Amino acid sequence: MLYIHIDADAFFASVEQCLHRELRGKPIVTGRDGSIGVALSYEAKALGVQRALPIHLVRKQFPTVQMVVSDYYMYKVYSDRMIRIIQEHIPQISRKSIDECSANISDLCKTIEEAESLSSEIQNELEQKLLCTFSFGISTSPLLAKMASGMNKPHGITSIDPAKDREYYKKTISAVPGLGWKISHKLFEMRIMTIGSFIEFYPGVQKHFSIVTDDIHHQLLGGTPLRIDQHNLQKSMNKSRSFKVSENYSEVFGQLVVNFEHLMRKLRAEDFTCKSIHVGIKNADGHHQGESLLLPMHTRDTALIMEHMQILFSDLFDGKRGCRYVSLTFSGLRPNGGVQEDFFSEHEVHQGSEELFEAVDDINQKFGEAIVTLASTLSRPKRLGSHIDPKKNPITLRHKLLPYETENRRVKYPYLGKVD
């Protein structure tokens, strides 16, 4: 078997450098509309900037770094275009995240050399059409292919043949994707610190771990994934927002409702219901607090969840202390088909509401997520702002709209600049 893994290099930052040609070759950090750096260009990484560093510290410690407002719509446009280009070569490609995808290419390539040739062809086309760089990993297991894609960034094509290569045995065990901090720490305590020692000694300590770790060990040896029958459906989903400090109840609640709308769309799209909700807020002084509440039943009824969310928020919000961050979590998720009808069949009462919001989802999908929204969001500031004065620290905004574009209706192809 042969697998390929494709990973865009510094994807969000690279897209911004495409949208703003004046930023090419310069250190940039996206996330200027929030409180932390979200993505870094390679130039920013070279200066020592770290991901998730608070924006005010980036400004203070790295004054030459350009802060950029995140444009997630355009990141999705570039991601979709990336997938379409790759599908012309590998029809069965599977998206793993907004900037990663992988596939079993055994039917297309019989040898690693053929896979490297295919990777080079796709890499050149991607970089020519999107002006972003991409790194490729090739191996006999999906796990090793993913590891290989990160070994020679940016613009790398790396293959691992476990029958011949042993260089990856020297890597620390914490570098293995999917292993997790807890398992890595447990292995460290057993003096198993590298991939090589994990491969050698894991059979002796296998009883202390799960079948998931067995699969990782199997794939590190170059084997195909084990068939793991695990009913580990997604248990929760979360959405958070940072913004300029506000003491206004309606403004802050409007920010929370934006999170609410996002999660409700996900519930409907994935056909889930939830059993509990958690609201968290962070005051101006950085103090974080939160509360949870069980719902009467597994549901995704908009009015019911909104009512309980407002109860939690009202208990937490203190206008005198100000607020700069809100988060919302839906927990106890399960498929909608598994919901038992209540005795009085009250779920039928909400059917009309469900159909209405599904229609709203379709409209937003077609014209932009913010075109139809709950009235509660209208009280929030139109821009998230920041605790840093933009007059003192100018920011790079999203690229100018093209003719006939609006903020809620954008073209669905990458913007690559003007042609002189």
The C-alpha R_g of the chain, in whole angstroms, comes to: 24
Conformational region of residue 37, where left means phi above 0, alpha means psi within -120 to 50, and beta covers everything else: beta
Q: Active site residue: 43, 100, 121, 189, which one?
A: 100
Residue 73: how many other CB atoms lie within 10 Å: 15
Centroid of chain to Cα 353: 29
Q: What's the one-letter identity of residue 386?
A: S
Annotation says 405 is catalytic? no
Question: How far is it, in rounded angstroms, from Cα 267 to Cα 273?
Answer: 6
Instruction: Just list the catalytic residues.
Output: 100
